[in-house]
Amino acid sequence: MTSVADHRARLVALLDGALAAARAETETIAPAAALADDPTALVGRVLGESVRAAGDLPPFDNAQMDGWAVRAADLADATPEHPVRLEVTAEIPAGETGRPLAAGQAAPIMTGAPVPAGADAIVPVEDGLPARFLAPGERIALPAPVPAGTYVRRRGGDLPTGALVLPEGHPLDAGEWAAIAAAGHAAVRVRRRPRVLVVSTGRELAAGPAGIPDADLVALAVALTGAGCAVRSLQQPHDDPERLAAALDARVTALAPDLVVTAGGISAGAHEVVRQALEPRGLDVGVIAMQPGGPQGAGPVRLGGRDVAVIALPGNPVSVLVSLEVLVLSALRAVWTGAPEPAPRLVPLAEGVVSPAGREQYRRIRLRDTPTGPIAVPVGGPGSHLIAAYPRADALARIPAERTAVAAGEPVEIRSIHGLHPDRPEWRAG
């Protein structure tokens, strides 16, 4: 049986080809325009070029404190008993260039304002006598010497002109956008978002006494949108393979997706609509050594007259979510941003669990702090239909394939879920 690691490697290879076009097709994005129109355009993007500092960062020597711009030499002999008195000149607010400072003068200067020519140190306003700003022409007494350079933020001290801010392929979060803006770029090239078509399937999704709500389509759409994809969705509430194939041909022709992700219809039943529709067109369906998420399909599939990468997930909602975390999003991150898998963290289980032989099991757990360190408390049972407990979990615990039981207190590998809200408050039903 295919291992989880081997199936993930296979998805990495599939996505590497599938996302090559999106990687090559960059588009220019200007944060100011996006902020005025739709700030979500900036979220989940990946750099399509390497970005270097357009100028020195900071662009000029500037004050680190609200205070007095001085010549350090003027204060060489200052003591509390014999403070040096300096003539106050015009104030320098941030955003303005002050006049050059002569010997014997002190300019009121605000944090971030350019240090005036002639000055080489800043004395915080609270260190003056009095500890407040004075008007031009008055005299401020300063009771201590300061080394030249005190509270001066040097031009280029963060990054010099031309230095690398971020490499091509880097994912852009709040800190990255801030660094790009600060480094003097009003616009940068980003990769086109991968276009992903998500599809839910099965007659049970149609209204009726044996019908159920569709939980998978929204899960797939939100997870992949959160990962930076441009997602479109398609519900197929039937078990007719020809109808599914025709619907996929039409949508693939219309949307030109880089990737199609389906849920349901791939196991051993008499009506496995995804398997029946797509196996003849190239989808490779099998069972991997994972629970939940055993049935899996992948491969290039002939749709709309061309080969399209398809990942087919089993239909149980927890199987979809665990498959997303362990396989799809993990492989997508690796291909799209080069992000390595987070190093596994070992946490003892709060209670013993059993696991099917030969299957890597992923249990939903909640991390709880105890005086002796964190413990992993299983949330809900192992069944892949138990979706209601999923939002109460904050991580997945991996039970290795060779284990059929893990005792309370034994350490297990933990991976976080809910990437956007890792610190969500704990919540209980009732």
Binding site for ligand LQZAQKY5 (CB under 6 A): 200, 202, 204-205, 212, 214-217, 263-269, 272, 287, 292, 294-295, 314-317, 319, 384
Among 71-79, 249-257, 288-296, 341-349, the segment contacting ligand MOO (CB under 6 A): 288-296
Say whether residue 264 binds ligand MOO (CB under 6 A). no
Please give the helix or strand (H or E) that residue 368 lies within, else none: strand 360-370
Q: Between the CA of residue 201 and those of 14, 204, 277, what are the distances in Å? A: 22, 8, 11
Q: Pick from ligand LQZAQKY5, ligand MOO, none: which does 108 bind, CB < 5 to 8 A by kind?
A: none
Q: For ligand MOO, give the closer residue by CB, 48 or 293.
A: 293
Say whether residue 330 binds ligand MOO (CB under 6 A). no
Assess contact for 230 and 193: CB atoms under 8 A.
yes
241: three-class secondary structure by DSSP: helix
Q: Pick from ligand MOO, ligand LQZAQKY5, none: which does 204 bind, CB < 5 to 8 A by kind?
A: ligand LQZAQKY5
Vertex 410: Cα angle to 352 and 407 (nearest 5): 25
**Beta-strand relationship, 195-201 and 230-236:** parallel
Q: Pick from ligand MOO, ligand LQZAQKY5, none: which does 315 bind, CB < 5 to 8 A by kind?
A: ligand LQZAQKY5
Assess contact for 102 and 87: CB atoms under 8 A.
no
Say whether residue 316 binds ligand MOO (CB under 6 A). yes
End-to-end Cα, the chain, rounded Å? 42
Assess contact for 355 and 403: CB atoms under 8 A.
yes
Residue 293, burial from CB neighbour count under 10 angstroms (0-12, 13-18, 19+):
buried
Residues 292-311 that bind ligand MOO (CB under 6 A): 292-294
**Binding residue (CB under 6 A) for ligand MOO from 44, 128, 194, 314:** 314
Say whether residue 62 binds ligand MOO (CB under 6 A). no
Least distance from C-beta 377 to ligand MOO, angstroms?
21
Long-range Cβ pairs for the range 136-141 (8 Å, 24+): 136/88, 136/89, 136/90, 136/91, 137/87, 137/88, 138/88, 139/85, 139/86, 139/87, 139/88, 140/68, 140/85, 140/86, 140/88, 140/106, 141/83, 141/84, 141/85
How far is C-alpha 327 from the chain's CA centre?
17
Binding mask 375-414 for ligand MOO (x = CB under 6 A): ---------x------------------------------
Q: Pick from ligand LQZAQKY5, ligand MOO, none: which does 224 bind, CB < 5 to 8 A by kind?
A: none
Q: For ligand MOO, give the closer residue by CB, 265 or 294.
A: 294
Least distance from C-beta 313 to ligand MOO, angstroms?
9
Least distance from C-beta 22 to ligand LQZAQKY5, angstroms?
26
Say whether residue 319 binds ligand MOO (CB under 6 A). yes
Q: Pick from ligand LQZAQKY5, ligand MOO, none: which does 212 bind, CB < 5 to 8 A by kind?
A: ligand LQZAQKY5
Least distance from C-beta 417 to ligand MOO, angstroms?
16
Distance between CA atoms of 224 and 395, rounded to whole angstroms?
18
Least distance from C-beta 323 to ligand LQZAQKY5, angstroms?
9
Q: How many CB atoms lie within 10 A of CB 265?
A: 29
Residue 370, burial from CB neighbour count under 10 angstroms (0-12, 13-18, 19+):
exposed
Q: Pick from ligand MOO, ligand LQZAQKY5, none: which does 378 bind, CB < 5 to 8 A by kind?
A: none
329, 333, 351, 319: which is closest to 417 by C-alpha?
329
Q: For ligand LQZAQKY5, give the closer residue by CB, 234 or 349.
A: 234
Query: Which positions lie near ligand MOO, rule CB under 6 A?
Result: 291-294, 314, 316, 319, 384
